[in-house]
Amino acid sequence: MGMLDGKVAIITGAGRGLGREEALAMAKEGCNLVINDLGAGFDGSGQPTRVADEVVAEVEKLGVKAVANYDSVTDFNKAKAMVDQAISEFGKLDILVNNAGILRDRMLVNMSEEEWDAVIAVHLKGTFNMTRHANAYFRQLVKDDPKLQFPGRIINTASDAGLLGNMGQTNYAAAKAGIAAFTVVAAMENKRGKYCTVNCVVPVARTRLTTDATPKFAETMSRLDERGFDVFDPANFAPMIVFLASDKATKITGEVFRIAGDRCWVYQGWHTVNEIINDGNRWTPQILAERVKQELLKGMPRKESLIDAFSALIKM
């Protein structure tokens, strides 16, 4: 018996990479699927191809039902139609995995408005669009049957580029950091009514977005560790999605998890690490100039970087 037997999930951006691995892992656990993928290049451009059909065929071989969807998550109404499609095809929706994404990397001083807008639209607005409509559906389920508790699961996808920072990705980083914050607040809003859990995952894996779009990571992410383990294989990440989508995760909400290789971390967001007090007096610029460097920033823990995260997995 699978952990997701009889469940119905939408996975956006499921035609390749992480989304495809998530679909395969969920199908193996008995989940029926709506496979969404626009079929474009990693930057959202190019002639669309129906890669979603290929994943539908793969998961159906595992004994579940699946349908394809080729719409963009950036369209509010098409996002609603995707939720409606799941309910029409399978009679219900249990799980939403927001995975769709593109990259338009550029140093800030050279970034165009279109490059900014396109990335924010797919990642941040797309996550909002899909979550907004799925959330409304889960809320109505509980309104119709108050005995239900957390019938829905929403799983969003962030990135270390947003939580730790990465040069050349102000658009992507802003979107991914926004998704993590969005997750925390959405979980708060749903917890009281017990409509759905909302969690966030941070994959460290080899995909088009981390190799084709970011060539500096390609060589590192192709290496095996000293044990011969492929730590950046996207299949390593998929079990976390299965777990968070399952009934075993009913009491877990508002969390941000990173997983890579054989390691799993949990994040906490912005929090104070030091403090100075001005003894009941208003700060002046002069006092701040004297005390911020000497006291507030003294002894601060070193900020974690992407290199630190990679080095924990494999010798750099």
Q: Catalogue the active-site residues.
A: 159, 172, 176
**Whether 260 contacts 232, CB under 8 Å:** yes
**Whether 30 contacts 7, CB under 8 Å:** yes
**Residue 135: closest CA among 182, 83, 70:** 83
Helix (H, G, I), strand (E, B) or coil at 38: coil
Q: Spell out the residues 6+ positions from residue 228 whose beta carbon is closer than 8 angstroms to its own.
A: none
Tokens linked to 229: 């383990």
Tell me how far CA of residue 271 lies from CA of 138, 174, 189, 274, in angstroms: 31, 18, 21, 9
**Whether 15 contacts 5, CB under 8 Å:** no
Beta-sheet strands, E only, within the chain: 8-11, 32-36, 66-69, 95-97, 152-157, 196-203, 256-260, 263-267
First to last CA, the chain: 41
